[in-house]
């Protein structure tokens, strides 16, 4: 297969943990031809979506780990698969890219994850589709509702709807002297909706990343355990990742959501689970392949490539 990866700059990859690199390495091992381009390499021209793509050759992990051929403008439908692996933030440029990718899809390109599904599944709001698995949650820009939610639960998490890596996530308790300024800052004085969730003490045992590939949960998750005194388990916020077998509840969530996610065109999804509660549905560029594989012995990249090959 000819596979095109839409990525962040290759020089920014952290090879020891980058999931896109794990996909590339496994695809190259299987003899697939790799191409790479950036979000700003996409264009709509003469009724086709083209990508200024370079053939990618992998080398050793020490020193220069890749070599690129000269970039060539290529209609995306000429690739066997196009993998959207650009990291958030999910800003308007990201949205415009999904529009372009959807045009390419209509011309025959096979894009994973499906562009419309990426737009439809906001990574915070998507849990509303599966409320049977969530803790008490509120989405609003209204200060009175947020204060009422805090009064009801006593200990809550406030976070923006477009954040990533645990950025701008606040734990707020009754009596917190900073509650007003936190609400004002996150809602931009009532002009921006945010999410409030009941605080889950099970975070101390890890914020679990459950990967779902082609509708099937990977049998191991990565529990991201917060540093002492920290409420965020995100690896970007200093959390420690520990691979564990799925619990019965993890598997129930993954197996229930899996067919619906697959039907929507989401080949790869990262579910965030704290205790027994679903907290996020990550669809843009889910990670944790390498951490799970190293610690569990289960080859996540191989499962992903098997599923991709069977989807073409």
Residues carrying an active site annotation? 124, 159, 209, 224, 232, 272, 280, 282
End-to-end CA distance of the chain: 9
219 secondary structure, DSSP code: S
β 216-217/194-198 pair status: unpaired
Structure tokens, 103: 């045009």
For 243, phi then psi, to 5°, come to -75, 135
Q: Which residue has the tokens 């990533």?
A: 164
Helix, strand, coil percentages for the chain (3-state, nearest 5): 35, 30, 35
Beta-carbon count within 10 A of 260 CB: 12
Give Cα separations from 69 to 13, 122, 286 (angstroms): 19, 36, 28
């Amino acid at each position: 297969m000819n596979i095109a990866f839409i990525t962040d700059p290759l020089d920014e990859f952290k090879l020891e943990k980058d999931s896109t690199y794990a996909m590339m390495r496994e695809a190259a091992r299987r003899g697939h031809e790799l191409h790479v381009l950036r979000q700003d390499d996409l264009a709509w021209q003469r009724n086709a979506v083209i990508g200024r793509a370079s053939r990618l050759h992998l080398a050793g992990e020490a020193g220069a780990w890749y070599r690129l051929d000269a970039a060539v403008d290529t209609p995306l439908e000429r690739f066997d698969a196009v993998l959207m692996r650009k990291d958030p933030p999910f800003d308007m440029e990201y949205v415009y890219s999904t529009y372009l990718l959807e045009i390419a899809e209509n011309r025959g390109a096979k894009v994973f994850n499906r562009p419309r599904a990426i737009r439809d599944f906001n990574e915070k709001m998507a849990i509303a589709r599966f409320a049977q698995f969530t803790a008490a949650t509120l989405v609003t820009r209204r200060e009175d509702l947020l204060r009422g939610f805090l009064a009801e639960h006593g200990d809550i998490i406030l976070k923006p709807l477009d954040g990533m890596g645990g950025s701008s996530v606040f734990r707020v308790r009754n009596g917190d002297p900073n509650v007003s300024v936190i609400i004002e800052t996150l809602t931009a004085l009532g002009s921006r909706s945010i999410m409030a969730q009941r605080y889950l003490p099970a975070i101390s045992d890890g914020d679990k990343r459950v990967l779902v590939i082609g509708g099937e949960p990977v049998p191991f998750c990565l529990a991201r355990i917060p540093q002492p005194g920290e409420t965020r388990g995100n690896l970007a916020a200093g959390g420690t990742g520990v691979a564990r077998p799925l619990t019965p509840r993890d598997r129930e969530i993954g197996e229930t959501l899996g067919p619906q996610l697959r039907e929507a065109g989401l080949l790869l999804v990262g579910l965030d689970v704290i205790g027994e509660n679903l907290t996020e549905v990550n669809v843009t560029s889910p990670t944790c392949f390498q951490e799970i594989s190293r610690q569990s012995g289960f080859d996540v990249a191989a499962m992903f490539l098997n599923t991709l090959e069977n989807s073409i």
